Every structure is written in structure tokens, then in C-alpha cells.
Amino acid sequence: MKCPICNSDKTSNFLSIDNLPLILFPVKGEMRDNILNKTIDSYFCDECTHIFKKPLDENESDIIYKKYYSFYPFDNLESMNASYRKPFADLFSRVLTRVKDKKFKTLLEVGCSSGKQLETYNGYNLECFGIDPSPLNEMNNNFISGKYEEYKFKNKFDIIVSRFNLEHINNINYFLQKIYSDLSVDGLVFIQVPNIKTYIENLIPLFLSHEHIHYFNPYSLFLAVNNNQFEIIDAEYDDKQSIILGLKKKLSNIYDWEKINISKTDQSFYRNYLIKRNKLKNDIIEKIDLEAQTCFYGAGMTLGWLLYDLDLKSKIYNFRLIDDNSILRGRFFPGTNNEINNFNSLKKDIKLNVILTLNPFYHKDVIKKLKDISEDINILVINKNGLKKI
Ligand SMILES: [Zn+2]
């Protein structure tokens, strides 16, 4: 298996999960048994440390994007979430302030979803265009419903944006070359993708999903843009959940930008993650009492990991799922029979075994809430240090 970023043959297996549903967000009850499962295999490049999987075939891609995505429970996509939106808007503003004498007229957002995220560019006096394959797309003259790779534009754009999109793309080089040719000579490109290095650092046990082909770290993203004749002029990536790059064409001499090169992290960093993740897996299997009623708090990816990779959905007889997001109430993880409930559904004064599977940022508050309702409580938390008893 060749690395899609640096073309090296020195790749090896990374993580594999059997029977992972094609989507991992909670769905309505009538859908829960209709979501297909498939093994997911991922690979690691020893040379550039990129993690990747094989592209989806057309059938899988249709099922995920045309069918399952219409069950997506949240109002907004991840790009609208404040922790992703704000750093992007800040970097965008920083770069545009530096080129304010230059007359930029048009912006294209690739993968603009409903077009709502184009509001980010209000106030810049740009005519904004969007292209997205999803049927959610609002149809007007500036929105094109279609695949960017297949669409021929008549005009060049001054700014092209791709947010949380590149990780879904099969052929990265083709995609970046098309952006290069659709961009005006002195144009700018802004890219945002999830930062896998942060996931690895925080021992997030599940970040693979069928629709994500690429798991960029800052270095592999740098390499991808560098190989396609772009130069980084601004970047946000250290300890951040996402990587954000501002780019220009290498040949363009728009202003005097300081060139930014991102260095490689040693491959042992990624290998150690696999070791720690394995230990976490063994600790959980050892410490969970399969007979006791267990309550999982937080219906996100960590819970998905326990249900599917550790197969707790068929090993534990009796469990409850709690999440504070009211949108998820009454929904089910694909292939499970346990409805997601809110915190108030937990009864006072009963013996509780709780495993915190939500973002560690909220652990402190949730632990306090739980201790207020029951004295007789066992709490296990999953965080970057592994499995810990409170
Ligand atoms: Zn590589």
C-alpha cells in the first residue's frame, strides 16, 4: 500500500476495527438496525507519518453521503462548532488584514454544506460561491450542487476555502491541483482539517470512521500542500483540535510572507499511542463488571469505541447511556437497543457504576453532579492517562 501523500512504500498496518457501522452518530429508533457494518483498516506511513485508509467505493459513498447523512442529528456540521469556527475566523481575518490593499473579489468554499458557513466571510466585501455534493445545499446562483473534482469553473477565484473536507477526499493531489488551477495568480487558500496529532496525544481511542480517508497530522498536511506548489503563509496547529493553514501559490509574490515549514514528529509518537491504546483496552475489559448495571456518560466517539471495537454492545447485558445534549435523547447508536437518556433519568440512591466517555474537559463537573445524587457510586474515567478510578 503506497502512501497517498509522499508515495512511499514504507507503510504498515495501523488500526483495524471489525464491524464498525458506516456512521457513528446516534440515529432514531426505526433506523438503528438498518445501518451497515464493515471492517475498517488503516495504514501508517513510516516516511511521513500520515495515517490513511482505502477510498470508499461508489456504493459505500452513496450510502453514507446520500442516505445516512440525512439522519445526522446535529443542527450544524463540525465546522460551525465554536472551537473550530473561531480559530478559523481569526486566522482568516489575520491574513486578509495583511493584504487589505489588494482587491480580492471572489471566494469559493468547497464543501460548503448548506452555505450557512459562508456567513464567516460577511464583512469582507467578497462575492461568495459554494459547491457541495449534498442535497441539503440551498439552491441559488452562487451555490452549485455537485462534486468539486468534476466541476469546471469558467472563472478563477481570489480565495478558495476547504474546511473539514480534505479528509474525505480520495485523490488529494488531484484535488489540490484543481484548487491551484481554479485560483487566481495571487490568490489565497485556506484549509482546515482535524488534527490527528492532538487525538493521538490525548489517547482518543477511536478517530477512524469510514468516510474519512485521510488522518492528517500537521507535517503530512504540510507535505501535501508543499508537493502541490503551495506555500504556507499562516498556520494554527500546535495542541489544537484542528490544523488551519493559509496558503499562497509558491510562484506568487503577493507581499512578503515569512515561509512556514512544519517539522515531522517521530514515528515512535504514533507507535506509543498503539501501545497505550492496547493497555487501555485490556484495563477496561479487566475492570468492567459485565454483570452490574453500567452507565456510560457521553454518547460520542469514545462510547462508539467501547460498543463496537470492544464489542461491549453484545457483552454487557444491562447498560444505560446518558448524554447532556437534548438532541440525542431517545436516539440509539447503530445496532444497539439502549436508548440515550439525559442525566435526570438517573435515580437517586441507587448503586451506580458510571464510565465517563465524554470529553475530559467536562469530567470535573459531571463527577460532582454524579456524587450529589448517590453516595454509592463507582466512577471510571477514560482520559489521556488511560482508565482511572475516581
Ligand atoms: Zn507518506
Cell of 9: 512504500
pLDDT of 198-257, one tens digit each?
999 999 999 999 999 999 999 999 999 999 999 999 999 988 899 999 999 999 988 889
The whole-angstrom separation of Cα 210 and Cα 8 is 23
Nearest residue to 18 (alpha-carbon basis) of 255, 314, 275: 314
Give the distance (Å) from ligand 1 centre to CA of residue 258. 26
Nearest residue to 176 (alpha-carbon basis) of 196, 148, 212, 154: 148
Residue 91 has pLDDT above 80, yes or no: yes
In Å, how far are 208, 244, 322 from 1, measured between CA atoms? 18, 28, 41
Three-state DSSP at 16 gives: strand
The whole-angstrom separation of Cα 313 and Cα 296 is 12
Identify the band that residue 376 occupies on the pLDDT scale cut at 50, 70 and 90. confident
pLDDT at 36: 95
- Yes or no: say if 323 and 295 are a contact pair by the CB < 8 Å rule: no
pLDDT at 119: 84
The whole-angstrom separation of Cα 355 and Cα 367 is 10
Give the distance (Å) from ligand 1 centre to CA of residue 5. 5
Give the distance (Å) from ligand 1 centre to CA of residue 9. 8
Give the distance (Å) from ligand 1 centre to CA of residue 50. 6
φ, ψ of residue 292 to 5 degrees: the values are: -75, 155
**Mean pLDDT (whole number) for 137-155:** 83
Give the distance (Å) from ligand 1 centre to CA of residue 315. 38
Give the distance (Å) from ligand 1 centre to CA of residue 386. 29
Give the distance (Å) from ligand 1 centre to CA of residue 234. 23
Cell of 330: 431517545
Identify the band that residue 105 occupies on the pLDDT scale cut at 50, 70 and 90. very high
φ, ψ of residue 363 to 5 degrees: the values are: -55, -45
Mean per-residue pLDDT of the chain: 91
Nearest residue to 18 (alpha-carbon basis) of 34, 35, 41, 36: 41
End-to-end CA distance of the chain: 43
Q: Cβ of 86: how many Cβ atoms within 10 Å?
A: 10
The whole-angstrom separation of Cα 128 and Cα 148 is 15
pLDDT at 291: 77
pTM of whole model > 0.75? yes
pLDDT at 154: 94
- Yes or no: say if 19 and 33 are a contact pair by the CB < 8 Å rule: no
The whole-angstrom separation of Cα 250 and Cα 231 is 5
Cell of 226: 508543499
Which residue do the cell numbers 488534527 mark? 195
- Yes or no: say if 166 and 214 are a contact pair by the CB < 8 Å rule: yes
**Mean pLDDT (whole number) for 112-139:** 80
Residue 373 has pLDDT above 70, yes or no: yes
- Yes or no: say if 349 and 371 are a contact pair by the CB < 8 Å rule: no
- The continuous run of DSSP H or E covering 109 comes out as strand 106-110
Give the distance (Å) from ligand 1 centre to CA of residue 92. 29
Residue 145 has pLDDT above 80, yes or no: yes
Identify the band that residue 135 occupies on the pLDDT scale cut at 50, 70 and 90. low
pLDDT of 167-189, one tens digit each?
999 999 999 999 999 999 999 99
pLDDT of 56-89, one tens digit each?
999 998 898 888 887 877 755 555 677 888 999 9
pLDDT of 320-372, one tens digit each?
999 998 889 999 999 999 999 998 888 766 778 899 999 888 999 999 999 88
Orientation of helix 172-182 relative to helix 218-227, angle to 10°? 60
Residue 306 has pLDDT above 80, yes or no: yes
pLDDT of 6-51, one tens digit each?
999 999 999 999 999 999 999 999 999 999 999 999 999 999 999 9
Nearest residue to 166 (alpha-carbon basis) of 207, 80, 224: 224
Give the distance (Å) from ligand 1 centre to CA of residue 53. 12
The whole-angstrom separation of Cα 300 and Cα 133 is 26
Give the distance (Å) from ligand 1 centre to CA of residue 203. 22
Which residue do the cell numbers 460532582 mark? 368
pLDDT at 126: 94
The whole-angstrom separation of Cα 295 and Cα 60 is 33
- The continuous run of DSSP H or E covering 247 comes out as strand 242-249
**Mean pLDDT (whole number) for 130-145:** 74
* DSSP-assigned states of every residue in 303-341: HHIIIIIS-HHHH-SSEEEE-S-GGGTT-B-TT----EE
